[in-house]
Homo-oligomer: A and B are copies of this chain.
């Protein structure tokens, strides 16, 4: 029999942020040897890796050199050198997700064309080489605001995306190759995390979750598991996510963010081929956490059961507006007194406005109780700079 886990097997992770940190927390139980590559010597995962390599995951040589000492290479960020990953694959290393998937996903234009080609539902869109052509199309009456503009590359955590409401805003268009798409008439924003394994050829989904955004920072600040949707909608969301996963022919997690429109249709919004903010609640809320599932998937081990253990809510701990300096978690003592509340601090020493500093999971007996607990946490804790 094959042993999927042991300290003799080395998994290299490109990126040492909070996702790498929580992957390590999970990998400890499986006794995996974890190496991390990140340019920041103080990266959240740096202290817990068996081997931390300070270097740039966007640099070809750094990634190839790093991979030399790994059996398997995975990522916690999309923006990595995929040519280096191709070289490592040729050398016989296991690489999940595949470099082709990373290239596809990191260009939102290619992503949208892929959806269209594979019959996957997404907002109607058009690609543009620059803003000039958008204005040309508007002048010719072919398109008109309101629409969403997205830069094809480089966007992250809501950056590189904007809603253009009317023609007065055209001077504010983001510069560079981009796409515009129809604004969804959103009822809810959902997310489904998928994982597959060659073991039994399984593909599993986590139950859909519902996201609520901070309108100012355009970051998820509040997430509820399970989503408040009917069983049929949940099934459809999962089917779309699995369909996409199969078309991408990938291993490891794929987080799929979806719009549930007011007319009941579902559109794929964005995807991430790695552990994702929309799965943090699973650490305490589900039978298997997304981090453990990612490890099981890239190892082609049996997948874990994703069923909900308890309804949960995830509250992002973002730096408060205007706060910059050494971090202080104001009210942490108060939330630590609440039953079923789990703070996860990412070890970042400096806070800045809307920076992701940690998250808090809240579990309860019912969805309503979990939401109430999440609201209480959100009111009590504030991430500020030390005075």
Interface check A302, CB cutoff 8 A: yes
Whether B307 lies near A309 (C-beta < 8 A) is: no
Total identical chains: 2
For window 295-326 of A, CB contacts with B under 8 Å fall at: 296, 301-302, 304-305, 307, 309-310
Q: How far is the CA of A23 from the CA of B385 in the complex (A)?
A: 28
Interface check A340, CB cutoff 8 A: yes
Q: Indicate the size class of the contact surface on chain A.
A: 35 or more
Could you give, for residues 1-16 of chain A, a 1 whenever the CB lies within 8 Å of some chain B CB and a 0 otherwise? 1111111000000000
Of A3, A28, A309, A339, chain B has the most CB atoms within 10 Å of the CB of A28
Whether B5 lies near A199 (C-beta < 8 A) is: no
Residues of B within 8 A of A337 (CB): 200, 302
Interface check A343, CB cutoff 8 A: yes
For window 278-304 of A, CB contacts with B under 8 Å fall at: 287, 296, 301-302, 304
Whether B7 lies near A349 (C-beta < 8 A) is: yes
**Contact A29 to B333, CB < 8 A, known contacts A305-B340, A339-B307:** no
Q: How far is the CA of A296 from the CA of B31 in the complex (A)?
A: 26
Whether A287 lies near B339 (C-beta < 8 A) is: yes
Residues of B within 8 A of A330 (CB): 1
Residues of B within 8 A of A329 (CB): 3, 5-6
Residues of B within 8 A of A331 (CB): 1
Of A47, A309, A310, A344, chain B has the most CB atoms within 10 Å of the CB of A47
Residues of B within 8 A of A25 (CB): 25, 28-29
Interface check A152, CB cutoff 8 A: no
Interface check A48, CB cutoff 8 A: yes
Interface check A336, CB cutoff 8 A: yes
Whether A345 lies near B31 (C-beta < 8 A) is: yes
| Smallest beta-carbon distance A19→chain B, Å | 13
**Contact A2 to B342, CB < 8 A, known contacts A25-B29, A28-B21, A347-B31:** no
Residues of B within 8 A of A310 (CB): 309
Whether A342 lies near B5 (C-beta < 8 A) is: no
Whether B7 lies near A347 (C-beta < 8 A) is: yes
| Smallest beta-carbon distance A111→chain B, Å | 33
Residues of B within 8 A of A296 (CB): 336
Whether B344 lies near A29 (C-beta < 8 A) is: yes
| Smallest beta-carbon distance A33→chain B, Å | 8
Residues of B within 8 A of A305 (CB): 339-340
Whether A5 lies near B309 (C-beta < 8 A) is: no
Interface check A363, CB cutoff 8 A: yes
Whether B287 lies near A31 (C-beta < 8 A) is: no
Residues of B within 8 A of A147 (CB): none
Closest B residue by C-beta to A51: B47
Interface check A332, CB cutoff 8 A: yes
Interface check A50, CB cutoff 8 A: yes
Interface check A248, CB cutoff 8 A: no
Interface check A101, CB cutoff 8 A: no
Whether A333 lies near B31 (C-beta < 8 A) is: no
Whether B336 lies near A4 (C-beta < 8 A) is: yes
Residues of B within 8 A of A199 (CB): 333
Residues of B within 8 A of A358 (CB): 31
Interface check A30, CB cutoff 8 A: yes
| Smallest beta-carbon distance A246→chain B, Å | 21
Interface check A328, CB cutoff 8 A: yes
Residues of B within 8 A of A343 (CB): 5, 29-30
6 interchain pairs (CB within 8 A)? A1-B331, A31-B345, A200-B337, A301-B336, A307-B339, A309-B309
Nearest 6 A-B pairs (CB), nearest first?
A: A305-B339, A31-B345, A302-B337, A302-B336, A31-B347, A29-B344
